[in-house]
Structure 1
Amino acid sequence: MDWQEVLGAVLVLLGLGEAVQRVEDSKTREALLEEPPELAEVHQLHD
Structure 2
Amino acid sequence: MNSIARYSSATVTPVATTDLLFDSMGRLTSLDHEDGATTMKET
Q: TM-score range by the shorter chain?
A: 0.3 to 0.5
Compare CA radii of gyration and give the structure with the larger one.
Answer: 1
Query: Scaled by the length of structure 1, what TM-score is found?
Result: 0.33
Query: Scaled by the length of structure 2, what TM-score is found?
Result: 0.35
Structure with higher RCO (Cα < 8 A, 6+ apart): 2
